[in-house]
Chains A and B, each alone.
Chain A
C-alpha cells in the first residue's frame, strides 16, 4: 500500500471504514469535525449509513441500537460531547454491546477551550457514566497508530462485547502525517450471530438489557462484567523506549508520550539516563511492566496534559516501591520537547 498524508481525524475515519464500519452517528464539535464530515461522504458511498444526530446523546444511543444488531458502528466527539454520551455508554456496557467511540480530548472542565488536553483520562478509564463498568481505552500517539488502533478497537469491541474508546486529543486530531494504510477488512456485516437482534426467527427471543431486578441477578451480572475486564488484561499494550538502562522512567501517553520521546532522545545525547513507558491501552493499564521496573529500583516521573490523573494509576502500579514525581503540562497549549527537559532533569536529581 502506498503512503498517504492525512490528519489524525481522517486516519481514524479511514481506519473505521477499512475495518468494516457500516454505520456512523455523530454530532459536530471541535476538534473532531473532520470525522463526521468524512463519514457523511464515505458511509453512503460504501453502502453504509450516516446520521447527523440531534445531539451527542442521540448519536450514542443510535450507536447502541446499531450495536444491538451486531453491526460495526462508530460515534465520535470531543470532551463536552463525551459527557453527554456517557449515559448510553453505561447502558452499552451493562447490556454488553460492542461499539467504537472516539474522543478527541480538548480542554475542560465545562466549555474549557478547543486546545489539546488529557483532562478526560478519569472519565475515560474509570467508567465515565453511572455504575460499575469499564470501557477498553486505546490512546494513539501517532497518526499511523490512530489508523491502526481503530482496527483493533472494532476487534476488541466484538471480542469482549464492550464499548471501546479511542482517546486522542486535539493534537492527534489535527496533525497531519504520512501513514501506510492496510488492505480493507472483509468482515461479516452482522457479527455476533449468537446474540444479535434480527427478529425472533423460530427461536427464543433475545433481550439485550441492563435491568436485573430479581434477587442476586445484578450481583451476578456485575461479577460477570468484572471477570470480563480481568480477562481483558491480556490486551494490554504499551511502548517501551530506552528503559533497559534508564534510571528514570517517564510515563506519558498519547501525544504527550510522543513529545516526551523526543525529549528523551535529546537528553540521551547528554548521557542522561531516562526512558519512556507509553501506555497504548489506558484500560487495561500496563501495571505489570511499571511494577517490574519499580522493583528494579527505577525512579518514576509521570507527565500528563492535565493536573494529575493517570499518575494515580502509575502510583497504584508501583505500590510505593519507587519514587514517583508528577509534572503537569497545563492544558490548552501545545508543548514542545524542550518543555519537558527541566522536569526530567529535576526528577532525576530529586
Chain B
C-alpha cells in the first residue's frame, strides 16, 4: 500500500528537543506560529522579537531572524524594528509576567499607537522560568510561591484580562483569546492567529492574541490535571472569543 503523508512538521520549526516541561503549551503555540507563518509564506520576511522567561527560547525553535528584548519591552523593540523596516513582518512573543506586569506600559502604548505588529501573548497565570511566582493573571485563590495562601483580591488585586483591555484601545484592529487545550480550540486558535498575521500583512494596525496555556510544573499538577484546570477554571474567568475585530466577522 502506498504511504500518504498526512502531516508534516512546519519547516520553520527547528528539529530539536524541546526544553519545555511536559504538558506546557508553549511548544504547541510555537508550532502554530510556525504553521501560520509558513502557510502565509512569511518565513523569509519575518523578524521575531523575543522576550523574557520560558518563552525567551522561541528563537531556538523557530528558524527566523530574531532579536531579544529586555523584560516587558518587546512591544517597544518591535516598534523600533517595524518603524525602521515597515516592509518586514514583525511579531512579539510574550508571557504574562512580561506583558501584563513589567511591560504593561509598552504593550498598551504600542497597541494604542496602532503599531503594525502582531503580539502573541501566552497566559499561564504564573511566572514560569523564575519558579512559580504570582503573575498579574494569577487567579483568585491560586497558590504561588509569592501568594502561598492563594491570590486574594483585596491584597493583590484582580487577575488582568488582557484581551479585553487590548480591545478597548483605539489602535487595536483585532484582539482575541484562544486556547489549545483540545482539538476544537486548537483549530479556532489557528484561525485567529492567522487572522492576526493577515491584519499586519494588510497594514491594518495592531493585532493581539492571548493564548491560555498550562504550566503543570508551577501549578504542581500532572499534565492532564493542568489541562483540566485550564478547561474548568481558567476559561470561565478568561472567556475565549474575539473581543475586537475591525475587519468584520467577529
Contact = CB atoms under 8 A, between A and B. Distances in A.
A200 B44 contact: yes
A246 to B, nearest CB: 47
Interface of B: 43-47, 49-50, 56, 59, 62-70, 73, 76-85, 88-89, 105-106, 109, 113
B83 A23 contact: yes
A209 B69 CA distance: 8
A211 B81 contact: no
A197 B47 contact: yes
Given A55-B105, A61-B106, A68-B81, A197 B68 contact: no
Nearest to A75: B80
A335 interface: no
Q: Which 3 A-B pairs have the closest CB atoms?
A: A65-B80, A62-B80, A61-B76
Nearest to B43: A200
B45 A64 contact: no
A207 B66 contact: yes
A201 interface: yes
Nearest to B73: A61
A87 interface: yes
A174 B70 CA distance: 33
Is chain A's interface secondary structure helix, strand, loop, or mixed overall?
mixed
Contact of A198 (B79, B85, B105): B85
A17 interface: no
Nearest to A208: B67
Contact of A65 (B46, B63, B81, B89): B81
Nearest to B14: A205
Contacts of A199: 43-47, 64-65, 88-89
Given A61-B76, A61-B80, A68-B67, A209 B105 contact: no
A344 interface: no
B64 A69 contact: no
A62 B83 contact: yes
Contact of B73 (A69, A88, A206, A211): A88
Contact of A62 (B66, B70, B77, B88): B77
Contacts of B59: 205, 207, 209
A296 interface: no
Contacts of B66: 197, 205-209
A65 B65 contact: no
A273 to B, nearest CB: 51
A57 B80 contact: no
A64 B67 contact: yes
Given A58-B73, A95-B68, A200-B64, A65 B109 contact: no
A206 B68 CA distance: 11
17 contacts: A51-B113, A61-B80, A62-B83, A64-B76, A65-B67, A65-B81, A65-B83, A67-B80, A68-B47, A68-B77, A73-B80, A87-B70, A91-B68, A198-B47, A198-B85, A207-B66, A208-B68
Contact of B49 (A53, A65, A73, A88): A65
B83 A197 contact: no
A88 B105 CA distance: 15
A22 B84 contact: yes
A58 B84 contact: no
A207 B76 CA distance: 18
A198 B64 CA distance: 10
Contact of A69 (B50, B62, B85, B105): B85
B73 A63 contact: no
B70 A73 contact: no
Interface centre among A67, A200, A209, A211 (most CB of B within 10 A): A200
Contact of A200 (B50, B63, B80): B63
B64 A95 contact: no
A97 to B, nearest CB: 8
A25 interface: yes
B190 to A, nearest CB: 22
Interface centre among B59, B64, B67, B69 (most CB of A within 10 A): B67
B201 to A, nearest CB: 13
A64 B77 contact: yes
A226 to B, nearest CB: 21
Contacts of B43: 199-200
Contact of A23 (B65, B80, B106): B80
Nearest to A99: B80
B64 A64 contact: no
A71 B87 CA distance: 14
A73 B85 CA distance: 12
B84 A71 contact: yes
Given A25-B79, A61-B76, A65-B83, 9 more contacts: A54-B105, A58-B76, A66-B81, A69-B81, A198-B85, A200-B44, A206-B65, A207-B66, A209-B59
Nearest to A91: B70
Nearest to A23: B84
Contact of B76 (A53, A67, A198): A53
Nearest to B49: A65
A95 B84 contact: no
Contacts of A55: 105
Given A54-B106, A199-B88, A62 B79 contact: yes
Contacts of B46: 199-200
Contacts of A25: 79-80
